[in-house]
Structure 1
């Protein structure tokens, strides 16, 4: 009798064998990550995922660039997968998170090997702090969907004030879905209704769903708490869906850690670190930026992203980058899953032309 087929995640883990590592950072937090040494390209790509992802969600990029001879460094970010999931939201401040990543970099990548961070969603927020505090260590930066945004040393995010303000300024209630993500007991609500939660996050018609549900006050809570369902995006294969679900609600997992990235803001823990950055700002354009990025930068915008709208994001990138390449793909927010071949090809072309060509 033949053995049952491996799950997609088990096959992914086996594919990289002994390249899986764990590290306790200087803060005493344990991270699990993939670390593949630089191949003949001599460059390491550092993948920083966001909400609601894990290392696995990068599998199209990891496999492609591994075969191309690049090194890979890809952690489960704090609160996710095999990394620690502390319940103190202050531990999710972006500057300490960036230091955690630098601890991993120091342990895995020789000082003379160039590194290119690739960030998506909240992973961009951590990459922003790498730019501010550790920028000279990196040869370039890759932004997916979300633009560089500098410090915001305002008071704790009061959603009752912020959501109407966002409506006034943009025409959309941009933070409406944060009401669900930051309410007491949000982790239990999302865990008990995980299918509804994932339907909302990976809907087939993301722009419409985002505008009707995520960007309309109280609709995210209503949708998830009532166990409502939607057709899932076709680019999410059944085997990938099972991995996503297990990383959020499987044994030893849970939604507290992923949601803590939002709760950190509404708890006001961003203020102290952002005040320090604001005091050293080189650009005084309403506190949105802190430095000018001198390395090559590529920004991948998603034409059908209802929240990270390209026409809003691109000007932010243009303010901070001296060597900016912008690529707009016809995708939703999940740009690296929806059109992986296109993204990989464009990123490969940029790396060859803007990074490897300029190496000293």
Structure 2
């Protein structure tokens, strides 16, 4: 945990007429500038611990929810609960529970889709947006947001119709089977997905582009056992908490995010042009959400008037593999683009003096 002044505390907010709940973690001074970290698939609030500690330590009010379907939040087996419209309702309830009307929003993976949806639907609540691995103006728009941007030199349409997103089609065609595979060995899968990435020698994602052809992930009947993989990229205490959460909830609700592309497209339409400061952090070694050499970031660049891009040499879970570099990119972005959101706003005698001639 953080030091005694920045201890991570647990909170719950009930919404949707009392039918749903979001559990979230918070650290740092209650009146500090608010920054909200939104995890993706899979994850829980505690997987942002490195960010909660770092940002609380310099005076931010740092918040990280268990997203619907995960941890201590609602995990109903209702597909529509995991549409962007339903998730954004939860995010507005979370924001209201902090006592604020706006925040800096940081998302990763599906969390990037969620924070992007917040920016589209409630731009007044977004002081700045930062997404990791998944660009704005992609996944939150349904299939149309990312499928047209597949690199057809790598994934010819006649052989790989859905490109590296073939695994998403597997969810739509065989949802229960997909979930059953993850749940056949939750600790084994969690440890496997938490392996540190290495620099790839190519850009083709055999893993994700051949899921349906292999009749499931990797063509094996269940995830590799925990003893078959190396150390996880999360610290041991965070990793143990994350795995325990996933064993408790399973993967049904978490995976239902992938079953709402049509609803999400209808909800978010063609997106919105953003004028707020936006930071995109490329995960350079990510083969599935490949943004460095593909066109995947193209629509974001056309839709954001104040865009900063940074690159971290890590796999998809960059904030777990290289938290220091991700935190540094976020800190620099805030200092340069939103100095008034820096804790204290340098109002305690900060003075720059020019050298004498």
Give the TM-score category using the shorter length.
0.7 to 0.9
Residue 8 of structure 1: aligned partner: none
User: What does residue 243 of structure 1 align with?
Assistant: 241
- Pick one of 112, 122, 129 that aligns with 1:141: 129
**2:10 alignment partner in structure 1:** 20
Aligned partner of 2:352 in structure 1 is none
**Structure 2: distance between partners of 1:210 and 1:246:** 33
2:103: which partner in 1? 115
**Structure 1, 123-132 or 80-89: larger mean CA deviation:** 123-132
Displacement of 1:195 after TM fit? 4.1
Q: 2:6–2:28: 8 Å Cα contact kept in structure 1?
A: no
The one-character-per-residue Cα deviations of 1:285-321 (angstroms, maximum 9, x if unpaired) are xxxxx21110111110011000111233332321111
Stretches of structure 2 lacking an aligned partner (at least 5 in a row): 346-357
Structure 1 unaligned runs (5+)? 1-10, 282-289
Within 5 A, what are the aligned runs for 1:101-250? 101-111=91-101, 114-149=102-137, 152=141, 167-168=155-156, 173-178=163-168, 181=171, 182-205=174-197, 207=200, 211-218=205-212, 219=214, 220-223=216-219, 225-228=221-224, 231-232=229-230, 235-250=233-248
Runs of 4+ in 1 over 6 A off after TM superposition: 12-16
Change (3 A) 1:153 1:257: closer
Gap change, CA 1:333 and 1:81, over 3 Å in 2: same
Give the equivalent residue in structure 2 for 1:335.
318
How far is the alpha carbon of 1:226 from its aligned partner?
A: 4.0
TM-score, with length taken from structure 2 = 0.79
- CA deviation vs aligned residue, 1:187-226 (integer Å, no higher than 9, x gap): 3332222244235423344658982333323444355524
- Cα shift at 1:338: 0.9
Q: Secondary structure at the match of 1:118?
A: strand
Judging changes above 3 Å, is the alpha-carbon distance between structure 1 residues 100 and 205 closer, same or farther for their aligned structure 2 residues?
closer
Secondary structure at the counterpart of residue 35 of structure 2: strand
| TM-score (structure 1 length as normaliser) | 0.78
Alpha-carbon distance change, 89 to 128 in structure 1, aligned in 2, over 3 angstroms: same
What secondary structure sits across from 1:313 in the alignment? coil
1:53-101 deviation line (CA, Å, top 9, x unaligned): 1111101110000001001221100000000101010111102211211
| Aligned CA distance change for structure 1 residues 275 and 165 (closer, same or farther; 3 Å) | farther
* Residue of structure 1 equivalent to 2:20: 29
Pairs aligned (count): 326
Report the alpha carbon displacement of residue 353 of structure 1 after superposing the two structures with TM. 1.5
User: CA distance change for structure 1 residues 24 and 93 in 2, over 3 Å: closer, same or farther?
Assistant: same
Instruction: Give per-residue Cα distances to partners, 1:98-146, cap 9 Å, x unaligned.
Output: 12111111121333xx510000000111112111111112211011010
Selected match of 2:45 from 41, 51, 55? 55
